[in-house]
């Protein structure tokens, strides 16, 4: 149990990448926590947004691998925000503070929904150059919780955790996926009542993505073929919303492929970012680009024409 937390990779990550805390709102209690790794001269990095149960370090395997290959990657943990507009305004201030005009966003589940809402929020003065949406959704009504969304703030921690855990895989899974679930349960335990209540509120309050505002943004939809919290209907809705999106399908990975299928996820991220190499929106140090190597890797993974 808890193999990831005591793994050499996780310990190396915690000892080498510092956790930064930044306040951008007038309210001093709203603290953004983030890991920023890779070359600082990159002005359009890839930013990771976690799911309801996640903290910034759930993306440690992406941070280690991608920064090692020359990418600048940032993984975030949100402060307490109670509505999407408030979140988007806070995130915009964070990007201003970090002096980042444009970014690529990788969002997992709730993180993917917030990434889409932020792209929509800034569409008149675009801040999002591309999106990778992992096990994500475009309409909060799929959770059938919109009527309770405004009461999460009243619920004690144990009830909120029970709601989140209800979406975790309960059937038999392979050992690597079991380790990923254990790690996410541990991360969930580290979240306070207000953090959890605010995330569930953002996840469930009545809202949907307006695709016409973000249709020009390059999108990769990443999802899994095995059991996850996302219904087939929700996945189909995403495909309809982004008909031109690249699709990155993983045979297995459950709710947390970035933890248990990190090599595949990292490769798909590289393939997504490859289209921006050689432009001012590249997330990688130009001296580290090796397109030939990526082509070989693409062949090794056996990507379908649809995914390329």
Under a CB-based contact definition with an 8 Å cutoff, are residues 253 and 261 in contact?
yes
**pLDDT of amino acid 295:** 61
The two beta strands, 246-250 and 46-49, are unpaired
Express each pLDDT in 211-231 by its tens digit.
889 989 999 999 998 877 678
Q: Which long-range contacts (CB under 8 A, 24 or more apart) does 14-20 make?
A: 14/57, 14/60, 17/60, 17/63, 17/64, 19/56, 19/57
DSSP for residue 99: T
Can you tell me which residue has the tokens 């890779």?
A: 38
Per-residue pLDDT at 166 exceeds 90 = no
Residue 143, number of CB atoms within 10 A of its CB: 18
Express each pLDDT in 30-79 by its tens digit.
999 999 999 999 999 999 999 999 999 999 999 999 999 999 999 999 99
Express each pLDDT in 258-275 by its tens digit.
999 999 999 999 999 999
Domain residue spans of the chain: 2-305
Per-residue pLDDT at 287 exceeds 90 = no
Confidence class of residue 141 from pLDDT cuts 50, 70 and 90? Answer: confident
Q: From residue 260, how far is each of 54, 85, 115, 181, 236 by CA, in Å?
A: 14, 33, 23, 9, 24
For 62, how many CA atoms within 13 A lie in the half-sphere containing its CB? 32
CATH 3.40.50.1820 fits 2-305, yes or no: yes
Q: How far apart are the C-alpha atoms of 164 and 76, rounded to whole Å?
A: 20
């Amino acid at each position: 149990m808890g193999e990831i937390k005591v793994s050499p990779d996780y310990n190396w990550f915690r000892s080498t990448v510092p956790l930064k805390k930044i306040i951008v709102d007038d309210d001093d209690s709203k603290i953004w926590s983030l890991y920023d790794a890779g070359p600082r001269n990159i002005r359009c990095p890839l930013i990771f947004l976690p799911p309801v149960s996640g903290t910034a370090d759930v993306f440690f395997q992406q941070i280690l691998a991608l920064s090692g290959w020359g990418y600048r990657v940032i993984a975030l943990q949100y402060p307490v925000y109670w509505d999407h507009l408030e979140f988007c305004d806070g995130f915009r201030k964070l990007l201003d503070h970090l002096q980042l005009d444009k970014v690529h966003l990788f969002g997992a589940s709730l993180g993917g929904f917030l990434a889409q809402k932020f792209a929509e929020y800034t569409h008149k003065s675009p801040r999002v150059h591309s999106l990778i949406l992992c096990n994500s959704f475009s309409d909060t009504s799929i959770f059938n919780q919109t009527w309770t969304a405004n009461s999460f703030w009243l619920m004690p921690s144990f009830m909120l955790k029970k709601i989140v855990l209800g979406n975790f895989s309960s059937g038999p899974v392979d050992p690597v996926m079991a380790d990923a679930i254990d790690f996410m349960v541990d991360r969930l335990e580290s979240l306070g009542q207000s953090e959890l209540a605010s995330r569930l509120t953002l996840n469930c309050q009545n809202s949907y993505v307006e695709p016409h505002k973000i249709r020009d943004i390059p999108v990769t939809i990443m999802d899994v073929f095995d059991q996850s919290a996302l219904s087939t209907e929700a996945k189909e809705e995403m495909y309809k919303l982004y008909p031109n999106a690249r699709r990155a399908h993983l045979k297995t990975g459950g709710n947390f492929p970035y933890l248990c299928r990190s090599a595949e996820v990292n490769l798909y991220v590289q393939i997504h970012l490859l289209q921006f190499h050689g432009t001012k929106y590249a997330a990688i140090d130009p001296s580290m680009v090796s397109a030939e190597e990526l082509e070989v890797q693409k062949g090794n993974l056996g990507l379908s024409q649809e995914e390329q």
